[in-house]
Amino acid sequence: MFSNQTICLLIPTLNEGEGLSKVLESVPNFVDRIMIVDSDSTDNTVKIAAKFRAEVINESRRGYGRALKTGFKNVKEDWVITLDADGTYPTSEIKGLLEYALKKDFKFLSASRMPLLNPSAMSHRNFLGNTFITWITNFLFKTKMVDGSSGMWLIHKSVLPFLNLKTDDWLLSNEIKIQAALNPGIGFHEMAIEFIPRIGETKVQHPWRIGLQLLFYIIWKRLCEFKN
Ligand SMILES: Nc1nc2c(ncn2[C@@H]2O[C@H](COP(=O)(O)OP(=O)(O)O)[C@@H](O)[C@H]2O)c(=O)[nH]1
Ligand SMILES: [Mg+2]
């Protein structure tokens, strides 16, 4: 409980035992519930979750976005906060995000990895790709995002039903921010956080293909909005 608000931490996992252990040992005490959505990990991810008494929901359908949407359906707390199981988004940032959202009465707050204080936390390729994708999002949607692809968000439960999320994979990270920004009842805000190097291997298999897919998705989404 934080300022009389209940908090759920939502973590999608796919063979992330090593990182998950580090993440779970650092979760602040005010977090009421830890929800892991796992896609049949074959390593010790589920065992690690049990060791830290985190709840595990199995989602056999693969996809980062699929896992998060399954998690969102199960949220009962006032706030849900997402992050990766790889240790890149420090749990010590949760308190600051909550304080900022409560003070400003924000319903959706995204943790921006930019400015990137630790350059070794992101490859040059990903840095350039993220910068370009954020720029094109801002250009097409007249938004002012600093990091269009961050995976750490703080969302008030009341807005979850209004986030009409269609994508099941990596695109969801960008889709959710665009939906929030375009919906005056939600709104999009950011706060800079520290971003640190990953523990274990990335689950992104074809980064160039995903980058292109993302680019076409953003243009397609803008065209759909135009038609409306
Ligand atoms: N449940 C589930 N989690 C996934 C899947 N793919 C990736 N993840 C998790 O989603 C988070 C983000 O993936 P990651 O490899 O860190 O992507 P990156 O941050 O873009 O490099 C990590 O915690 C992964 O374990 C999936 O198919 N199912
Ligand atoms: Mg990650």
Residue-by-residue DSSP string for 129-189: HHHHHHHHHHHHH----S-TT---EEEEGGGGGG------STTHHHHHHHHHHH-TTT--E
Q: pLDDT exceeding 90 applies to what percent of the chain?
A: 97
Q: What is the pLDDT of residues 128-143, one digit of tens each?
A: 999 999 999 999 999 9
- For β-strands 7-13 and 33-38, DSSP reports them as parallel
Rounded CA separation 68/59 (Å): 10
Residue listed under structure tokens 């707390």? 77
Q: Which atom of ligand 1 lies closest to the CA of 85?
A: 23
Which residues make Cβ contacts (< 8 Å) with residue 167, sequence separation at least 6?
65, 175, 217
Can you read off the two tokens belonging to residue 34?
């830890």
CA 12 to centroid of ligand 2, rounded, Å: 10
What is the CB < 6 Å shell around ligand 1?
A: 12-14, 16, 37-39, 59, 62-64, 67, 84-86, 151, 202-204
Query: Does position 5 have pLDDT exceeding 90, yes or no?
Result: yes
CA 26 to centroid of ligand 2, rounded, Å: 17
* 56: β partners: 36
Average pLDDT, the chain: 97
| Nearest protein CA to atom 5 of ligand 1, as residue | 64
CA 198 to centroid of ligand 2, rounded, Å: 7
Query: Does position 85 have pLDDT exceeding 70, yes or no?
Result: yes
Q: Which atom of ligand 1 lies closest to the CA of 63?
A: 27
Contact 174, 219 (CB under 8 A): no
CA 227 to centroid of ligand 1, rounded, Å: 33
| Nearest protein CA to atom 12 of ligand 1, as residue | 84
pLDDT of residue 7: 98
Q: What is the pLDDT of residues 192-211, one digit of tens each?
A: 999 999 999 999 999 999 99
From residue 13, alpha-carbon distances to 39, 43, 58 in Å are 7, 11, 10
7-227: CATH topology? Spore Coat Polysaccharide Biosynthesis Protein SpsA; Chain A (3.90.550)
pLDDT of residue 228: 60
Residue 225's pLDDT band (boundaries 50, 70, 90)?
confident
The model's pTM is 0.97
Rounded CA separation 145/131 (Å): 10
pLDDT of residue 133: 97
Can you read off the two tokens belonging to residue 100?
């900022």
Angle between helix axes 124-141 and 172-182 (nearest 10 degrees) is 30
CA 98 to centroid of ligand 2, rounded, Å: 21
Contact 46, 40 (CB under 8 A): no
